[in-house]
Structure 1
Amino acid sequence: MNVVRFHAPGDVRIEEAPEPATGPGDVKIRVRACSTCGTDVKILNFGHHHIVPPRVMGHEIAGEVEEVGVDVEGWAPGDRVQVIAAIPCGRCAECRRGRMTVCPNQVSMGYHFDGGFAEHMIVPPNVLRVDGLNRIPDGVSYAEASVAEPLACVLNGQNLAGVGEGDDVVVMGSGPIGCLHVRLARARGAARVFLVDLNRERLDLAADLVRPDAAVCGAQIDVVDAVLKLTEGRGADVVITAAAAGAAQEQAVQMAARQGRISFFGGLPKDKPVISLDSNLVHYRELTIVGANGSSPAHNKEALRLIAEGAVPVADLITHRLPLDRALDAFGIVARGEAIKVTVEP
Structure 2
Amino acid sequence: MRAVVIEQPGTVSVQDVPDPIPGPGDLVVAVRGAGICGTDIHLLDGELPYDRYPIVPGHEFYGEVVDVAGDIDRARIGRLVTVDPNMPCGACAECRRGRANLCERYEALGVTTDGAAAELVRVPAGLAYDLPADVSDVGAVLTEPLACAIHGFDGLPRRPQDRYLVYGAGTMGLMMGLLAADMTSEPVTVIEPNPSRRALAESFGMRAVSSPEEVDPDERWESVIDCTGVVEAIEDGLGRVRRGGVFQCFGVTETDAMVKLRPFDIYRNEITVIGSMAVHNSFDRAHRLAQVWGDEKLAPLVTHGYALDDYAEAIRTFRDGAGLKIAIRPGGLA
Q: So what's the TM-score if we normalise by structure 2?
A: 0.91
Instruction: Give yes or no for the alignment of 1:216 onto 2:189.
Output: no
1:145 Cα shift?
Answer: 0.9
SS in 1 for 2:45: helix
Name the residue aligned to 2:167: 172
Name the residue aligned to 1:100: 100
Of 73-82 and 159-168, deviating more is: 73-82
Name the residue aligned to 1:6: 6
Counterpart among 286, 297, 302 of residue 313 in structure 1: 297
Which letter does structure 1 place at the counterpart of 2:272? Answer: T
Instruction: Give yes or no for the alignment of 1:53 onto 2:53.
Output: yes
Q: Distance in 2 between matches of 1:133 and 1:115?
A: 14
Deviations 1:77-125 (A, max 9, x none): 011111112222233343343322222222111122100000011004x
SS in 2 for 1:330: helix
Which letter does structure 2 place at the counterpart of 1:222? Answer: E
Instruction: Give yes or no for the alignment of 1:340 onto 2:330.
Output: no
Distance 1:326 1:268, change over 3 A: same
1:316 Cα shift?
Answer: 2.1
Instruction: Give yes or no for the alignment of 1:299 onto 2:293.
Output: no
Distance 1:190 1:149, change over 3 A: farther
1:203 Cα shift?
Answer: 3.5
Matched positions, count: 329
- 8 A Cα contact 1:165 1:191, kept in partner: no
- 8 A Cα contact 1:86 1:109, kept in partner: yes
Counterpart among 117, 136, 159 of residue 154 in structure 2: 159
Q: Distance in 2 between matches of 1:20 and 1:82?
A: 18
Name the residue aligned to 1:139: 134
SS in 1 for 2:155: helix
Deviations 1:289-334 (A, max 9, x none): 11100003x3111011112222893122111111111122111111
Q: So what's the TM-score if we normalise by structure 1?
A: 0.88
Which letter does structure 1 place at the counterpart of 2:190? Answer: L
Q: Distance in 1 between matches of 2:216 and 2:319?
A: 28
Q: Distance in 2 between matches of 1:201 and 1:7?
A: 37
Unmatched runs of 5 consecutive residues or more in structure 1: none
Name the residue aligned to 2:234: 249
Instruction: Give yes or no for the alignment of 1:325 onto 2:318.
Output: no
Name the residue aligned to 1:239: 224
Q: Distance in 2 between matches of 1:208 and 1:13?
A: 38
Which letter does structure 1 place at the counterpart of 2:279? Answer: S
RMSD: 2.1
Distance 1:194 1:299, change over 3 A: same
SS in 2 for 1:310: helix
Q: Distance in 2 between matches of 1:51 and 1:71?
A: 33
1:138 Cα shift?
Answer: 4.5
SS in 2 for 1:161: coil
SS in 2 for 1:65: strand
Which letter does structure 2 place at the counterpart of 1:169? Answer: Y
Deviations 1:209-260 (A, max 9, x none): 5341x21212xx526xx154xxxx4501101110121222211110011111
SS in 2 for 1:145: helix
Instruction: Give yes or no for the alignment of 1:81 onto 2:75.
Output: no
Name the residue aligned to 2:187: 192
Which letter does structure 2 place at the counterpart of 1:215? Answer: A
